[in-house]
Each structure stands twice: as C-alpha cells, then as structure tokens.
Amino acid sequence: MSLPWAATAALLLAVLAAGLLAPARTATVRTDTLGPDHGEAVAGYLARAQASVESATGEPRWGLVSFTAPVPVERAAALPGDPRIAQVLFRVPIERVQTPLVAVAVPAHREALLRAPAVAAGRLRQAGGTDRAARVAAVSADRLADGCACVVGVVVRVAPAAASELAAAPGVRAVELLPADAVAGAFSVNPLLPEHIDVVAPGPDDGEP
C-alpha cells in the first residue's frame, strides 16, 4: 500500500534533513612521525632521538630503530631488550642507485619476522614503473630472496626502561620513541638510512643496478 503524497514528501524532507545535520566523517589525522625530516641535519635528528629515549617513562611506546649499516633479518630478530618488532624496513644497498624502501608488517612471532625478506621480494617482483625502476626492483628482489643484509630499520613496541639498552646495542645507530599516546597505524615512518651522514637527502642515482 503506497503512502499518500503528503506523507511521502514529509518522509523525504526528514531524510534530507538527517543527511544535512549528520556530522561528516573525518579521516585519521597523522601527526606523529618516526624518523628524520627531509633536509634535517643528521646530528640534530640523533640528538632528538636520544632525547626521546632519555625523557620517556612508564608504559611501552612505539619506536624506530635505525641501524648503522644494513643488517640481515636474523640480526634484527636478536635485538636486546625483547622489543616487539611490528614492521621491518628493507632497502637493498646498490652503489649510486636509489633503491626502493619496502616496509613489511609482521605479527608477534619469530617465524613471520624471518619470512619478511621473502614477502618484500614478492612485492618488488610485482612492482611496475620505468624500465630502470623495473631493473632496480628485480635486482633488489633477488638479493632479498637470497637473504641479504638489507634491513635498515625496524618499528618496535618497547618499554622505555629497555630502550636505552636497545640504543646501546652494537650496530644500532639511533632509537627514537613516540609519545605514550601514539596509536598504531596513525604515525608515519621515515628511517635514518646508513648513507645519511650530514643531511637527510637522496644520494646519487646514476649507477647501474
């Protein structure tokens, strides 16, 4: 049985009014960042990262571990202080070639962490782009599949009390902690790469992959 036209019009107006009055959904705002800013002095970032560790107290926090040189995933898995590694950042070193950074999220068990290089290699084999980009991705994928020392950083969940031990570990260049209220998935990550010596900026890209 159809509604009288007056009732139908009133229902339509009510639906339109509800749509106008309902608040619009807002996207998640990412205000936290782990890692240096583009163009930042390396010495300034290292001091900032150290201060974040020294001032942290209380509950575990999200943090970024950056390495002095790329390490194999087994080395990352053996970090002291038992940090919960949530993401592994891979970048295959090729002289004078800008290679892609591949971030692989991992659940909380060692087997998944050790499989992360294969996951990164699989992603690179599916990458598109120019002929040069495809060659760089293919070489990077092959080296990752072979178990190269290609981990440049890891995102961790770690207690502030253990962060100092982590920062002092051999091969660790910097540990940076986020504020205690930082939420997983709501912060960006930009690792301090081993080739960043003075300023955080891209290096040359005129070599052959």
Q: Which two tokens stand for residue 108?
A: 């909380």
Spatial distance between the Cα atoms of 63 and 40, rounded to a whole number of angstroms: 19
Least confident of 12-16, 56-60, 104-108, 127-131: 12-16
How much is the pLDDT for 129?
87
How much is the pLDDT for 30?
52
Conformational region of residue 183, where left means phi above 0, alpha means psi within -120 to 50, and beta covers everything else:
beta
Q: Evaluate whether 58 touches 183 at the Cβ level (below 8 Å).
A: no
Residues 67-122 pLDDT 10s = 999 999 999 999 998 899 999 999 999 999 999 999 999 998 899 999 999 999 99
Q: Evaluate whether 30 touches 187 at the Cβ level (below 8 Å).
A: yes
Q: Evaluate whether 65 touches 166 at the Cβ level (below 8 Å).
A: yes
Indicate whether 1 pLDDT > 70.
no
pTM for the whole structure: 0.84
